[in-house]
A and B are shown apart, each in its own frame.
Chain A
Amino acid sequence: MKIWTSEHVFDHPWETVTTAAMQKYANPMKPSVVGVDVLHRPVDPSGKLHSHRLLSTEWGLPSIAKSLIGAERTKTYAQEHSVVDPVRKAMELRSTNISFTYMVSVDERLTYKPHPQDPEKTVLTQEAVITVKGVNLRSSLEGLMASTVSSKARKGREAVEWGIRKLSAEVEALAASARGSIRAPVAAE
């Protein structure tokens, strides 16, 4: 069993980071995630939004390997459950693999909360527990996986930053277009 943890501060308020994180998988930093679907998305009686998502990841094998193994079997699946509390301003996310559970279990937890000292910033806390089952090389495999998780986590954070920039650009474009349409009638006079 290997535990990896990390903390990161985004220089943006919690609402911005959470909105970007909800859209996270449409981003260029994680090309191996090839499919994401929401399977269940209730608002619970206390007003928190739950999202249950299914993620499919492509191994990135060369096409000859895929044609030998079969295209569907080169995909691995993970499930993700997130909870957003708009009153307490907390987003918690937990994802676990569904494929290969007989070999390995990867359990990742993420929490996004406003920075306790600066409401214009957001703190992301990440934790991953990795367990490789029944293998003698257990601790070195788990170590290898932990460094992969760490690198993916960094890319995940970059993905959220990318999402924030994309959202800002869209907002700016809308604002510029609104300014343009307000000015036009004045110019016509």
Chain B
Amino acid sequence: MMFFFLFSVSGNASNPEFKKKKNSECLLRLRHEGLLNSCPAGVASCPASSCPFRSPRSPRLKLLESALLLGPRPTAGGMEFSELIRTGRAQAELLRGPGAPPLRGTLCVTGHHLLLSPGPQATSDLWLLLLRSVDSIEKRVAGDSGTITLRCKDLRVLQLDIEGVEATLDIARSIEALSSLESVITSFPFFYRPKGLRLGDAWHFHPPEHYYKRVARETNAWRLSEVNEDFSVCPSYPRAVIVPRAVDDDALARSARFRQGGRFPVLSYHHAPSGTVLLRSSQPLTGPQKRRCAEDEELLRAVLAGARPGARGFIVDTRSAQAAKQARMTGGGTEAKAAYPGWKRLHRPMERGRPLQESFVRLVEACGDLEQSMDRWLSRLEGCRWLAHVKEALSTACLAAQGMEREGACILVHGAEGTDSTLLVTSLAQLILDPLSRTMTGFQELVEREWIQAGHPFQLRCAHSAFSHARPKHEAPTFLLFLDCVWQLGRQFPLSLEFGEGLLLALFEHAYASPFGTFLCNSEKERCLCEVRTRTHSLWSGLNQPKEQRKLRNPLYVLNPLAIWPSVEPQSLRLWQGLFLRWTRPPEPSEAAWEKVWQIVTDKEKTEGSQPTVSASEPQP
């Protein structure tokens, strides 16, 4: 059914008049809904020089531009990407790297996909690639044929040998144009209608509200505030946030004005065994005059008062002391000791932004470089510094978790904007401490609550993966770093996570390019404007289908009620081969092992059932 409409695309003539009308309509609506007056990523109020993603153009402009420039809208019978599609089809051979046999057939570019349909005699199915997942494209022509190399956001490298020079160039141009569309509302998730899923399913996830129910059972010191109902207090926060009961909404609004992007301190996790809490925010806007904000101070005082008596607080700043001090010159800064009695600052510098993206690019380059002489691999791996970032992230998370569990202290985490390293630390600390967050649903809720709803700007950070030739602007693999850290936890505690590598790989893929709407946009506000919840499918409903479970779950899982303290020694951290070397090694052995584990566990369930119902003709395990 889906294929049907994809194929119909190229045949559909566009109607410029109609398109224009749709465009202006769309713009009007955006303006009406207030997008022009606010900044999607909360950068507008951000002191420019403290932002690691400096760009001459604000992301707000970007979003609007894309909405203006391209106006393909869904129409009754198909879409109007046809003017970007230079050629409909060509004969081609696809090489997919080691292990997979080459595929021959008719290549076809549609609005959102690249398709290869093998000839009628072939047995294999249609091959399909989401154009959005193409990170970079390289074309070469020789004689009367050409070669296109596609480097995908999931780090796959594909090669297409195409008959005809013109066809090659046309297809390359079409892919180039279509894969870099930045408009959200014309992206594939708005058209994806898979069988068996209903629109709106799993969007009932309201993590802050849902999580609040749990917190309310454990303590009375916190309340759910809807001060951000219309996203006016903090454009990157969700509608509801959990705050100290003693602080009213007016005070929150004033505290928000004192924090970059309005990200005032909110509850991230309540650690019931020690009665302490984990909070996150952005930096205070103390500035060179060392401004103070009574409401902000009151908020943090109330946090300590609400925790166990005599509780102390630690502010984990993810910048170095020097960087935090320097931020004052541009309007930011850090909490003055005298203003926040009971709170002590700790600096744990973590790299983010461009250095992180560059580290990722270098690592992927090193992993893909098959010429690399063998004796330099380890120092090259070290030189990429990726594992050093993993170590930094895990040890800062351990610090935060230790503060709560061992010292009985409340922890506030922030860096500058509070949308990257901060979320990395708070989410990892929860995984270490909270057994519930290590379950399948708990982890999905954690990702939804601490990353998606917490305003990690996925659209900006994941615009490109490691292959893009363009200079990185806002791209940074913060979320991938989080997934890698989780993978390290899973490797060190093989029984304690209910999900397996499969889920982490899926999240990586979907964060960068997905048919689902979950990772679209930069904040809840943008998602509301784009009506993501009502017009796209949720990734969670896609992943939680029974047929996906074997790939995603950890068959060895047993509930571990304890905190899992990872070892962060360099020899305990490994390169995540399953991700970084995924496409360069034959996958069979590890897949076979996975299959085997499942088989044994399923056998176990069978034997545990009342009476074994196996018949003698069934294959032996």
B partners with A: no
- Interface set of B (CB-CB < 8 Å, partner A): none
